[in-house]
């Protein structure tokens, strides 16, 4: 068996028993105690705050990525697009900040504990 070097990447094969197609289904499955899931922080903000889920392997998480709205600049900005940007940008900013605060408050992908 090879010796593990500090800081070296570790590759671990997984063999899922349940495969779902939405983050919501993955979160619901984790809450039901069916296993571990890996989803975006804002998707689990409420279950984390409620204590329905707990973080594990937090130190292996990815750093946050910026979110941008991209659109084709062809002269003046259409009013409907301006309205969408004005509506969505502050809400998205708030949602991302709330998710970050939720993660910081629970510190530690996502699982539940089963009671026997």
pTM for the predicted model, two decimal places:
0.62
Rounded distance between C-alpha atoms, residue 56 and residue 36, angstroms:
9
Look at residue 116 in the predicted model and tell me its pLDDT: 44
SS3 106: helix
Rounded distance between C-alpha atoms, residue 50 and residue 8, angstroms:
35
Residue 41 to residues 9, 20, 47: CA-CA distances in angstroms?
A: 23, 18, 11
Where helices occur in the chain by DSSP H, the ranges are 23-31, 45-50, 79-106
Look at residue 109 in the predicted model and tell me its pLDDT: 47
Give the model confidence (pLDDT) of 50-84 as tens digits.
999 988 877 777 777 777 888 877 788 889 989 99
């Amino acid at each position: 068996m090879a010796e593990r070097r500090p800081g070296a990447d570790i590759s671990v094969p997984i063999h899922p028993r349940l495969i779902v197609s939405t983050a919501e289904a993955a979160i619901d499955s984790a809450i039901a105690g069916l296993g571990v899931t890996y989803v975006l922080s804002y998707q689990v903000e409420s279950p984390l705050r409620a204590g329905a889920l707990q973080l594990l392997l937090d130190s292996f998480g990815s750093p946050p990525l910026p979110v941008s709205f991209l659109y084709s600049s062809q002269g003046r900005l259409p009013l409907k697009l301006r309205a969408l940007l004005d509506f969505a940008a502050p809400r998205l900013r708030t949602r991302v900040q709330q998710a970050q605060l939720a993660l910081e408050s629970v510190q530690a992908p996502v699982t539940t504990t089963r009671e026997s």
